[in-house]
Each structure stands twice: as C-alpha cells, then as structure tokens.
Amino acid sequence: MLNENQQIRFTQLWTDVQPVVSQFVASLIKDQWAVRDVVQNTSLTLLKKFTEYDEMQPFLPWALGIAKFEVLSHRRDSARDRLVCNPEFLEQYTKSWAELAPRMTDEITALQACVSELKGRPRKILELQIRDNQTSETIADKLNLSAANVRKILSRTRQSLKDCIVRKLAISGESA
C-alpha cells in the first residue's frame, strides 16, 4: 500500500505522462474503447508497481514499458484480430516513442500557444475546419466567401502557425 506522499508523487508523474502513454497506445490499437481499457490497465499496473519504480530514472520510459506489456496482453487476448504485432518491432517502437515524446509535447505546447494568438477570420476558419470538421465549401457558405479564398486563408494560417511554432521552439532551445 502506498503512503500519502507516494500516492501524491504517483499522481503527479502519471498526470504528466498519461497523454503521451494514451497516444502511444492509440497508435498501436485502432479501437478507441480498447485504447481506454489498455490505458486504464496501464495506470492500475503502474500504481500497483509504483514501489518498484526507481525515482532516479525517468518515469515516461517506465510507464511506456508497462503500456507495451498491456498492449501485448490486449493483442494476446484479442488474437482473433488479423493484425499481428512483432514483439521486436514493439520494443523498438516503445523506445523511439519515449525519445520522441518530450519533443512532441514541446511542439504541442508551442502549437497551442500559436493557435491562441490567432485572431479574427483565420482563427474562425481554422476552428470551423478542425474543431467542427467542416469543408472549405461549408465554411465559405457560412462566412460568405469563396471556397478558394477559404483554402488560401487556411494555407496562409497553417504557414503562419508553422513559422510561429519554429520561433517558439527556437526560443525554448528546441528545433523543429
């Protein structure tokens, strides 16, 4: 049983890595409900084994290692699926994900900051396309624009976001 400090520490660590672990699992399992189950099982396993965790080591690779075994367990249990995953591939994939995850997190943070800086029509068009999953034709009708104009604005907005992300990553010492 974990003491209160261990519970707090586990919660802090898990909260930090849970989005990355979820993305990792979702990249390997198509069924969103199965992804939720595997992530939940990963969380429970991590909690049960938290006393074995070495605080001198990064938490993310350890969590991804547990998630990898949960994915393998899920695949074994749903053997009727046609997709078979090579264990060596999964091992290398897990290591690569642990290396890339911090950079992806920095890029997502930069993207969120850049999107929050968008104003006016470009922001509205981007929201309609991404959040509401609308086509340029539908957006054009709503905003009384041509579809070609909407596509041009989206193209410029994407380039602007890309430039903004590169600037923010450069400021923070990362590279895009």
Q: Report pLDDT digits (tens) over 15-31.
A: 999 999 999 999 998 88
Q: Is the pLDDT of residue 67 over 70?
A: yes
Average pLDDT over residues 64-93: 81
Q: Is the pLDDT of residue 175 over 70?
A: no
DSSP 8-state assignment for residue 81: S
Q: Report pLDDT digits (tens) over 103-159.
A: 788 888 888 889 899 999 999 998 888 887 888 899 999 999 999 999 999 999 999
pLDDT band (50, 70, 90) for residue 1: confident
Cα 173 vs. chain centroid, distance in angstroms?
21
At 61 the pLDDT is 93
User: Would you say 169 and 158 are in contact if contact means Cβ atoms under 8 Å apart?
Assistant: no
Q: Quick one: what percent of the chain has pLDDT higher than 90?
A: 56
What dihedral angle (degrees, nearest 10) is formed by the CA atoms of 100, 106, 108, 113?
Answer: -170
Dist. CA 6–CA 14, nearest whole Å: 12
pLDDT band (50, 70, 90) for residue 78: confident
User: Would you say 38 and 74 are in contact if contact means Cβ atoms under 8 Å apart?
Assistant: yes
